[in-house]
Structure 1
Amino acid sequence: MARQDSATQKGIGPIVSASHLADGGLPALSEMEFALVILSNAFQRWITRCTSAAGGEGLSAIEVQILHAVNHRERDKSQSELCMMFNIEDTHVVAYALKKLEALGLVESGRRGKEKTARITRDGADLCLRYRDLREKLLIESVKSLGLDESRVSEIAALMRVMSGQYDQASRAAASY
């Protein structure tokens, strides 16, 4: 807090991409939003490049995320479960990703009653394990060297999930505004 106060006193203000948004009642939220944009872009670039290095060339960030989600706990996942898990409104995004992953032999389709499901294949599970090994070597070792408090990182993650609910509520309000 003291850092921001001294920055504000010097006329610098928070680090944002749109100063007109930071002029409002909660400048720190604009700072967080800009950080989320930068983090999101870096994260998406990371997961696609790590997957490519692990042997999964040509997958988009959402396809990588869906692959890992289908692999999660080795339990079949439906399209609606995947949409809910990732807070994706456009079901076509998930449907396309599942079709592409199936065409590559990384997932296979199944059924749970009338609902179509996806399950990981041996090739898909192997790719996820190679990704995990590269993640440990290239990312986790580096992040651990920062000396971050794991409980603090978990607190930030919890805050981000809470904030997603705030943005969802505001989005619903904006849809009817």
Structure 2
Amino acid sequence: MKKLLVILLLLLVFPQSVLAHTGLESSSPSTDETLQNPVTEITMKFNTELQPLSTFDVTVNGSDKVPIDKVTVSGATLKGILKEPLTKGTYTVNWKILGEDGHIVEKSYSFRVDAKIPETTTHGQPAPKETPAAAAAAPDAAQSKQAPQESVSPSGIAAVVGVLFLIILGAVLMKRRNS
């Protein structure tokens, strides 16, 4: 009985260890940031090591996918190099990671780019008039910011239910013992 009480007390004192999952600590571009220069890469840093299957995609105006050249995982960092710089538009990064705890976490965040397409390249040659990402972003002017989307992990719900069950079981056993 004493062991059960100790376990219950530990669960109450340290509940974050029961429900702890990998989470986003920082990103570049960051959530709701508005940038004035084109974006060529996206970097996200998490609070624990990531597994190699972690990935992300980027959409413009909530629908059209932006081509990503390469996604890499290094420790707690997830990084993607874009095929073309992101110019004017609202972009959503939809990330899906596998943390070191073995749980899959899926969330998203948005940022805005107000960069114009350069008129010439660094070699003095005319730049393309419009990239596919910029063309897809054109109808974005009247749209408002998207709120980050979050999902609840089934294992997190199971952990909470389990803790509540143990608390109730402990209370019932204590009451029977005192009777």
- TM-score scaled to structure 1, two decimals? 0.26
Relative contact order, CA 8 A, sep 6+: which one is greater? Answer: 2
- Larger radius of gyration, structure 1 or 2? 2
Q: Whose helix fraction is larger, Structure 1's or Structure 2's?
A: 1
